A = this chain, B = another copy of it.
């Protein structure tokens, strides 16, 4: 590979010959000197080219020909004049440290430019373009340093999580996304033409990560796509999303799952703050806070009372919270405990799936929780029911046909440990961490009911 210096490394490099590669951010094509700001994945640098014309005489001298007439005498100037924003090129020249240069205190006096691919001069999006049109041109939108940062943060976050898991002896699994039946509600299921029959896209790895428990894997994790044929157009929903999943054996209750969950959040946020804290503050004005443990835990019924005391009545007939209720309880937790996270626990059996374990002394409640971060739910966790007879009863209780669940029920017929886990939306965590309004911003390529491209 050609010796290429990343722009972020120029400040520490010594003056002299250097080669950088990236795309044109801006061109200032002045009479005496030309400036190009070149950007790469690590930063931006100013390239400078004093026109050959300068040597020939003063600009005010009427005998001096106009720049265009001098083209052949300074071919590099012509190349620079013709550069369109976005053009990818390799620039070679002399690196020079100069503290007067605002952009990083260095500039490169150009010797040559080699264009890799020139950009169409008409850029379809601008700084003030709305989110939907930006998504049409996502590959251009992602060139913005802020957007690049989001995915570097994502990389750090996921790697910290996986490192935590690996250090704690978790096994990584890749569960199939093609299934013969639903893993959650049938209402939001995508159907696939599968040879002579039908298949369905996994709405979550739920059944298969649970399968790892009777398989004796002990502790497993997976970060993978999940699919919901959800027709919503909110800022928090997508038809395809990256699900962060863990499932562990031999728990006593959902408390053990919450303990894992908060440790994992801490590991991830610690790594992000350390590696990107300053950049995030500069780009988003957000101070990343590593949460203290334990996170506050509030049973849902109590949370609803607290919210009611604050003057908000959740407008639902079932026992569930709603988005405004989540914001209200998050505000309460922030005021009372100074914490951005809260576990809402012990959801009613009526609003939880059949596989959540119910309280031994109150079958109306489940060993489950939602994790709310900065006012929005990012995850659901629970202890699962591992006793097959109880599981069948709970499925019937939900109006499900145990016959359709046979392959799943089989998992528990040949021995199974008590177990539990959680699923968490990656883009939601990033959205809330960076205080962004929409998960389109934190998804590489968003998919919604009316968006399948690019």
At the interface, yes or no: A177 with Cβ under 8 Å from chain B? yes
What are 6 A-B contacts defined by CB distance under 8 Å? A41-B171, A41-B216, A41-B249, A119-B413, A195-B231, A199-B452
Chain B residues whose CB sits within 8 angstroms of the CB of A23 once the complex forms: 216, 415, 417
Q: Which residue of B lies closest to A24 (CB)?
A: B415
Chain B residues whose CB sits within 8 angstroms of the CB of A410 once the complex forms: 137, 139, 454
With A41-B218, A143-B215, A176-B240 known as contacts, the answer to whether A252 contacts B1 (CB < 8 A) is: yes
A35 to B116, CA, bound (A): 72
A386 touches B117 (CB 8 A): yes
- Which A residues from 27 to 41 make CB contacts under 8 A with B? 39-41
A449 to B152, CA, bound (A): 38
At the interface, yes or no: A290 with Cβ under 8 Å from chain B? no
Chain B residues whose CB sits within 8 angstroms of the CB of A195 once the complex forms: 229, 231, 449-450
Q: Which residue of B lies closest to A173 (CB)?
A: B444
- Which A residues from 135 to 179 make CB contacts under 8 A with B? 137-140, 142-143, 148, 151-152, 154-156, 158-159, 162-163, 166, 169-179
A210 to nearest B CB, angstroms? 9
A211 touches B418 (CB 8 A): no
Tell me which of B250, B411, B426, B452 contacts A21 (CB under 8 A): B250
- Which A residues from 190 to 237 make CB contacts under 8 A with B? 190-195, 199, 201, 208, 211-212, 214-219, 224-225, 227, 229, 231
At the interface, yes or no: A88 with Cβ under 8 Å from chain B? yes
Closest 5 CB pairs of A and B: A41-B218, A119-B415, A142-B215, A86-B415, A180-B452
Q: Count contacts on A: residues with CB < 8 A to the other chain.
A: 108
A155 touches B139 (CB 8 A): no
Tell me which of B175, B412, B414 contacts A140 (CB under 8 A): B414
Q: Which residue of B lies closest to A259 (CB)?
A: B1
B163 touches A159 (CB 8 A): yes
